Amino acid sequence: GEGEVPALIDKMHDRVKARAEALGGPVVLIGWSLGGYVAREVARDLPEHVAAVITMGSPVVGGPKYTSTAAIFRARNCDLDWIEQEVEKRFENPIRQPITAIFSKRDGVVGWRSSIDHFSPHVNHIEVNVSHIGMGLNAGVWRLVLNALEKGVGDKS
């Protein structure tokens, strides 16, 4: 089992396509934790519909293996090594859109090293000093999200 994440990604495909078509162009996806992982995968699959991605405390490598939820997935008989291998295969097709990846060494849920993207060519990693839950509540983090949106999201250098 893969924790039903592929089903979440498939659901988001339809929503993102519909929203991009309604707006007449690609959208920016913002995701926190697993939502950021899903946003990244949708961007990878639908580059024509996604202009950029902003993530907060989101795992890039390993799936749930490097998060505090690993024990929950194991209890549900999910094979974390298999998930990690499946996630790794996805990097054969790198995300080409700009990514702003906000992470914290104090996260407490997602291991910060698993939030570092060494595969996609246009990633701007931003370290903050907040907890995982704090990312969604911290005004400074949301200012970083706003700044990324205002600057066109990410660093294309």
In order of start, what are the domains of the chain with their CATH numbers?
Answer: 5-150 (3.40.50.1820)
Mean pLDDT to the nearest integer, 134-150: 96
CA–CA gap between residue 96 and residue 94 (Å, rounded): 6
Question: Is the model's pLDDT at 157 over the cut of 50?
Answer: no
CA–CA gap between residue 93 and residue 120 (Å, rounded): 9
Contact 61, 75 (CB under 8 A): no
Confidence of residue 3 (pLDDT cuts 50, 70, 90): low
Instruction: Please give the biggest Cα pair distance in the chain.
Output: 44
What's this model's pTM, rounded to 2 decimal places?
Answer: 0.84
Confidence of residue 153 (pLDDT cuts 50, 70, 90): low
